[in-house]
Amino acid sequence: MKIRRIIAVFAFVAFLLAIGNSNACTNFLFTKGATKDGSTMITYAADSHVLYGELYYRKAANYPAGTMFQVVDWDSGEPLIQIPQVAHTYSVVGNINEHQLAIGETTYGGREELANLVEGGIDYGSLIYLTLQRAKNAREAITVLAGFLSQYPYHSEGESFSICDPNEVWIFELIGKRNKPVKADLAKKLKYTYTDGAVWVARRIPDGYVCGHANQARITQFPQEDKKFKKTFGKGLHKAISSAHLNYINEPEVECVYSSDVITFARACGWYDGLDADFSFTDTYAPLTFSGVRACDARVYAMFRRVNASMVKYERYAMGDIKAERMPLWIKPDHKVDVQEVMNLMRDHYEGTPMDMTKDVGAGPFNCPYRWRPMNWDIDGQAYIHERATSTQQTGFSFVAQCRNWLPDKVGGIIWFGVDDTYSTVYCPMYCGITDIPLCFREGNGNMVTYSPTAAFWLFNRVTNFVYSRYKDMIVDVQKVQSKLESNFIADVQKYDQRVKDATDNEMTTLLNDFSNRQAKKMMDEWNGLDQYLLVKYMDGNIKKEENGAFKTTKFGGSEGPNMPRYPEWFYRQIIKEHGDIIKER
């Protein structure tokens, strides 16, 4: 999500302030060969202190010639420009469309010289949702994105997109060419003509590999096209094409696509003068900093090390040492993952690393792995940080998009959707073929300043904000219900797939609507029950005793006296250190 940076984008304090006061996201990408069932998956956590968790829906529609579409900035609601509407748009549920095309994103900001926003243009959010309405697969999505970026100014900051369809997974990184930083003498020498839009690179993740991005650009060097490839295409492997040759994008050999001026623009700005073959997108447009690694790439590291133990060798890098060996763009996991593991990979507080948020004194006496913002602070002139893990309190919504090529599109695509903190959310299955969004996820059912008792966002936030007060005890109860629901959902989906896959189109839509709405209702019923249970059990800092699934009572029906667990010894010692003379018994 967008990170608003006004000055010194890569300055340590400015970056952390931006993360603390605006948005930051996490995407993980999984190819067919890396999953147990051969599905592709991408994840997305939309993290923002002002983003409400709801499931967007845009129905398929037809438009007469001459219809215009008003582009509105996804973050601010500001009207931008009007563009021609296409004759037909596809149905979109959240971030997946009816053809099993899914797109997620994270914002990385980029060079300070490119930080100011242009007037009008197309923002990153509109790029996602317009593309989902207009493209059927990942390669079509790249073509649509390239078209937008060549025709209109780009309104947002540097951005990384995750793009997947049932067969392929791509990472697409772009940054706007704002402020016209081109130097006249260099442009003349290079015969370069400045245009609005953006420079970008898209790479297909090799089958059997996993990738991730989390607010730090990740593409470094990339394959570049053979300048003579137009005459020889088909007679050999040509892994890369530029945007000038997008008519070749559907050739399966193409694994990298990039804007024609991605290197020449950098040269014309005086940012790069090396060989084309050595050009690195990240090092040119979003150079590494301590904060870019520690607050961003570290989240990718956390996932990498959980799917491949050997990735621990990048721990120094993940902790902000930009001189250490750099983490690769993608890795091969040491085992294949399933959808439940992918959900759990979105649940991470750096457990098992030196950055473990449950271990330091900031976690308090009950090991709460959250730190209220701001992320950066200083004492006696020394700057410090709080960690920014994958699981964070200000998540609006998150999802696991799963695409399965052995099923009809409307059944094959599922967005496992959850609201609030990924660690304690429940990923509920929403088939991409639905046309009726469950009330608990529906747009307009509450907002960030309007409570709704039927909105999942408010129910889950009510639970988690209570859980944070006695985390190590309460989270165990949350995980029991979470695990039961998700395990049942996964089993139910496997059965339901077989029931609906041969249905007629209209029957299929009805059945999918019924299923997804029933699952959402189950989730809300269970979570309302959990909310009440936690309040009764943990009221006033006590813990009521239980037996055989019920709270213990006296023979006369009253509540048996609760447990009153002590604080950990280190906490008492800290109290004594700071206040002992006042509270000492005499």
Q: Omega before 374 cis (within 30°)?
A: yes
Mean pLDDT of the chain: 93
Under DSSP, the state recorded for 214 is S
pLDDT at residue number 230: 62
| Longest pairwise C-alpha distance within the chain | 94
Q: For residue 123, what are the contacts with CB-CB under 8 A and spacing of at least 6?
A: 71, 73, 74, 75, 80, 155, 156
From the number of C-beta atoms within 10 Å of its C-beta (0-12, 13-18, 19+), residue 249 rates as: middle
From the number of C-beta atoms within 10 Å of its C-beta (0-12, 13-18, 19+), residue 290 rates as: middle
CA dihedral 404, 405, 407, 412 (to 10 degrees): 30
25, β-bridge pairs? 46
What is the Cα–Cα distance from 312 to 304, expressed in whole angstroms?
9
Res. 466: pLDDT tops 90: yes
Handedness of CA 486, 519, 406, 303 (dihedral sign): negative
Q: Is 293 helix (H, G, I), strand (E, B) or coil?
A: helix
Instruction: Name the pTM for this structure.
Output: 0.94
Tens of pLDDT, residues 237-295: 679 999 999 999 999 999 999 999 999 999 999 999 999 999 999 999 999 999 999 99
Tens of pLDDT, residues 11-44: 333 343 334 334 579 999 999 999 999 999 999 9
Res. 479: pLDDT tops 90: yes
From the number of C-beta atoms within 10 Å of its C-beta (0-12, 13-18, 19+), residue 7 rates as: exposed
pLDDT at residue number 78: 94
The answer to whether the CB of 463 falls within 8 A of the CB of 527 is yes
Provide DSSP, 516-528. Answer: HHHHHHHHHHHHH
The answer to whether the CB of 524 falls within 8 A of the CB of 463 is no
Percent of the chain whose predicted confidence (pLDDT) is above 70: 95
SS3 labels along 115-168: CCCCCCCECHHHHHHHHHHHCCCHHHHHHHHHHHHHHCCECCCEEEEEEECCCC
Tens of pLDDT, residues 347-364: 999 999 999 999 999 999
Q: For residue 370, what are the contacts with CB-CB under 8 A and spacing of at least 6?
A: 357, 392, 393, 468
From the number of C-beta atoms within 10 Å of its C-beta (0-12, 13-18, 19+), residue 447 rates as: middle
What is the Cα–Cα distance from 415 to 299, expressed in whole angstroms?
22
pLDDT band at 573 (very low <50, low <70, confident <90, very high): very high
- Residue type at 138 in one-letter notation: A
Res. 2: pLDDT tops 60: no
Extract the tokens encoding 220: 């470094």
pLDDT band at 179 (very low <50, low <70, confident <90, very high): confident
- Directed axis angle between helix 456-467 and helix 471-500, to 10°? 150
SS3 labels along 224-242: CCCCCHHHHCCCCCCCEEE
What is the Cα–Cα distance from 144 to 126, expressed in whole angstroms?
12
Beta strands in 356-474 (DSSP E): 376-379, 382-385, 395-403, 414-419, 428-431
What is the Cα–Cα distance from 339 to 427, expressed in whole angstroms?
10
pLDDT band at 413 (very low <50, low <70, confident <90, very high): very high
Res. 1: pLDDT tops 90: no
Extract the tokens encoding 230: 């137009």
What average pLDDT does range 388-401 have in this prediction?
A: 97
Res. 427: pLDDT tops 90: yes
What average pLDDT does range 111-122 have in this prediction?
A: 85
pLDDT band at 454 (very low <50, low <70, confident <90, very high): very high
Taken as a whole, the chain contains a residue count of 586
Tell me how many degrees the CA angle 387-391-397 measures, rounded to the nearest 5: 130
Extract the tokens encoding 421: 């903190």
Tens of pLDDT, residues 216-236: 999 999 999 987 766 666 566
What is the Cα–Cα distance from 376 to 385, expressed in whole angstroms?
4
What is the Cα–Cα distance from 117 to 76, expressed in whole angstroms?
13
Under DSSP, the state recorded for 310 is G
